Amino acid sequence: MQINTVGVVGAGTMGNGIAQACAMAGLEVIMLDVSDAALLRGQQSIESSLDKLLRKGSLDEAGRRDALGHLRCSTDKHALADADLVIEAATEAESLKLQILKDIDASVGPHCLIASNTSSISITKLAAASGRADRFIGMHFFNPVPVMALVELIRGLQTSDSTQAAAEALVARLHKTAISARNSPGFAVNRILVPMLNEAVFVLQEGLASAEHIDEGMRLGCNHPIGPLALADLIGLDTLLAVMEVFYHSFNDCKYRPAPLLREMVEAGYLGRKSGRGFYRYA
């Protein structure tokens, strides 16, 4: 199946990043959210990202105009009617995703594929709610989407070979690399990454080292491009906590317990870059 039109539900950090990557690849993109204000923030984020690429010389003015020309924004779910693929990129909350997937199924044509950008929730469970389980797949992008080269593909129990093939072809068209992971909490990458970030929060909570020294230690000692606490701020502490909660309840193993400091920071509204304050402060 050839994918030419992509719907992206959610104009937040991940949603607008996915929309930008698809538009830059020449796909027609419909970015959907519940309010004009959310869509405006998402579009402004895309324009800012394209401007940054322009300044770096990675994109010319014609390419910027072309990408924006492939993007449409809407609050009307019926705008997705002609999509070949719709990618759900809402907040990492299972009940919300289940409802959105039902709405998508009712809004798109019978040929349309549906994907979720979830980083931890069961693809098989989401697929069952989608109304088209054989045409459903997990497509887990990484932040910032326009820069990160990886997309993790996760099949549910019902996902067809043709859906997998279509997803792989789309990833290639986006000039990214796909890896396949089995449907298990956190899949492959986050199963390794998120507990490491959570452990860094424990190290900070216990006063073993400052946030700056924890991050510097991992950057210089392990050659990581960004420290774990700065990365947690980039991902969003609420998202990190949600993933750890899924791990904790799914595996019933105390090694996946969220750090109390992480939970308290989320309760305080210190969510990282998106709120202006996490383990660090941001302008």
Options 119, 120, 122, 183, the catalytic residue: 119
What's the token pair of residue 247?
Answer: 């791990």
Options 16, 45, 140, 183, the catalytic residue: 140
Residue type, 118: T
Residue type, 208: L
Active site residue 119: yes
Q: Is 231 helix (H, G, I), strand (E, B) or coil?
A: helix
Give the C-alpha distances (Å, rounded to integers) separating 271 from 145, 174, 201, 239, 276.
Answer: 19, 30, 13, 9, 8
Residue type, 96: L
Phi, psi of 248 (to 5 degrees): -60, -45
CB-based contact 23:71 (threshold 8 Å): yes
Active site residue 140: yes
Active site residue 267: no
Options 28, 88, 92, 152, the catalytic residue: 152
CB-based contact 179:152 (threshold 8 Å): yes
Kindly give, in sequence order, each residue whose CB lies less than 8 Å from that of residue 174, ignoring residues fewer than 6 positions away.
21, 22, 25, 151
Options 130, 183, 190, 198, the catalytic residue: 190
Residue in 136, 175, 158 with CA at minimum distance from that of residue 20: 175
Catalytic residue IDs: 119, 140, 152, 190
